[in-house]
Amino acid sequence: MTSTPTIALARTVLPAARIDALFDALAAEGWPVIGPTVRDGVLVLAPLAGATDLPRGWGDEQDAGSYRLVRRDDDAYFGYAAPAGTWKRHLFPARSVLWRARVIRGAPVIEETVERPGRRALLGIRGCDLAAVRVQDRVLLHGAHPDPVYAALRADLLLVAVACGTPAATCFCPSMGTGPEVGDGADVALTELDAGTPDHRFLVEARTDAGRAVVLRLDQVPPTTSDDDAATDLLAGAVARMTRSVDADRIPAALKDAAEHPGWDDVAARCLSCGSCTMMCPTCFCTDVRDEPDVLAGVDERVRVWASCFELGHSYLHGGAVRPSPRARYRQWAMHKFSTWHDQFGTSGCVGCGRCITWCPAGIDITAELRAVTEEVPS
């Protein structure tokens, strides 16, 4: 009996002109696709009908407090950095109904409300965002009390990641060890090569059995050394273009000594406490819970919504808020992300996606603030 050389068949080269074959393979394996698409002037992550929904030829320009889509001078399908949309929305929704109660014949009846969407392929997830899924898995799935909403949405996923060759000015994934390459957790890893040339192609690599089943539905064209070299060059070029960084070895301990640094006053004078950074962050998971009763219909819903540590009420304990000032709230956010998250969950809470920099209306740059608040103050 001959055995199937599955490992040798787990990598192939897909011409970009045949990208429909990837969608066909995903469909044949029963994976509806969620991926990047252009909507309302930004890139969002939404259900895709096919390759024509991908943002072909679109890139982005991001900097502190600014984002805009731009036309690329090539036909890259994945020629952008961190999208405005976050995958978090598909795993940990901004609003979840935790339970619903109805009065039926005078007695309250509790209904199950956890959404179970079934199989979904997340196509186009970058290394940084894949790392964010690992962070949220640790918090929401592998803790002492797994979150049922997250667990239901996290089940039956196929993660089709794409190596990043087009970082934005706001990105700093190499500092955090999360990109631009595709790290752990992907089922399939894609690398888009030579967009805008006749050799425009994808290096396709299966990393799990589920991924292998999809890849084996494609034509099998073994990658050559020059394909692998081109992939290596793409990643090296991306790293070389990133200008922002965080000293991730030094910062966790340095922040612990910086609680009273005057730099917190400086950033607090600019911070609006709007919470945009936390809403856009792919790892933030704070929530609030409220009841939404409909007396006329005899229905009550207990609803969970995203919350932010920048809200005054978020730290409310009996008698008042523990963090009443913007200074205290900004410090809490930065210290948790970059220092105490390590104590709590064993990793950083930041994956270096840069969204908090791009989407801060005051243009506050966390990489600069971390340097400022850990600088020695002249005596």
**Residue 148: count of CB within 10 angstroms of its CB:** 14
**Residue 376: count of CB within 10 angstroms of its CB:** 6
Q: Considering the rule CB under 6 A, would residue 19 count as an interface residue with ligand SF4?
A: no
Exactly one of 48, 350, 370, 373 binds ligand SF4 (CB under 6 A); that residue is: 350
Tally the residues of the chain: 379
Whichever of 16 and 353 has its CB closer to ligand SF4, that residue is 353
What residues between 69 and 88 interact with ligand SF4 by CB under 6 A? none
Distance, in Å, from the CA atom of 57 to the CA atom of 48, rounded to the nearest integer, reads: 17
Specify burial of residue 95 (Cβ count, 10 A radius: 0-12, 13-18, 19+). Answer: exposed
Q: Considering the rule CB under 6 A, would residue 353 count as an interface residue with ligand SF4?
A: yes
Nearest distance in Å: CB 199, ligand SF4:
33
* E strands in the chain: 11-15, 33-39, 42-48, 58-63, 66-71, 95-104, 107-112, 120-125, 157-162, 188-193, 201-206, 287-294, 299-306, 316-317, 320-321
Identify which range of 192-200, 227-235, 315-323, 345-353 contacts ligand SF4 by CB under 6 A.
345-353
Question: CA 330, 367, 123, 209 torsion: positive or negative?
Answer: negative
Nearest distance in Å: CB 259, ligand SF4:
18
Q: Considering the rule CB under 6 A, would residue 178 count as an interface residue with ligand SF4?
A: no
Question: CA 53, 58, 63, 66 torsion: positive or negative?
Answer: negative
Count the site residues for ligand SF4 by CB under 6 A: 25
Nearest distance in Å: CB 238, ligand SF4:
16
Whichever of 81 and 123 has its CB closer to ligand SF4, that residue is 81
Identify which range of 110-118, 153-161, 191-199, 353-361 contacts ligand SF4 by CB under 6 A.
353-361
Identify which range of 96-104, 151-159, 233-241, 352-360 contacts ligand SF4 by CB under 6 A.
352-360
Per-residue contact flags (x/-) with ligand SF4 for residues 296 to 315, judged by CB under 6 A: --------------x-----
Exactly one of 360, 370, 373, 374 binds ligand SF4 (CB under 6 A); that residue is: 360
Whichever of 13 and 280 has its CB closer to ligand SF4, that residue is 280
**What SS3 state is found at 297?**
coil
Whichever of 142 and 270 has its CB closer to ligand SF4, that residue is 270
Whichever of 11 and 244 has its CB closer to ligand SF4, that residue is 244
Distance, in Å, from the CA atom of 360 to the CA atom of 348, rounded to the nearest integer, reads: 21
Q: Considering the rule CB under 6 A, would residue 276 count as an interface residue with ligand SF4?
A: yes
Please say whether the beta carbons of 133 and 127 come within 8 A: no
Distance, in Å, from the CA atom of 12 to the CA atom of 204, rounded to the nearest integer, reads: 5
Footprint on this chain of ligand SF4 (rule: CB under 6 A): 271-277, 280-283, 310, 337, 350-356, 360-362, 364, 366
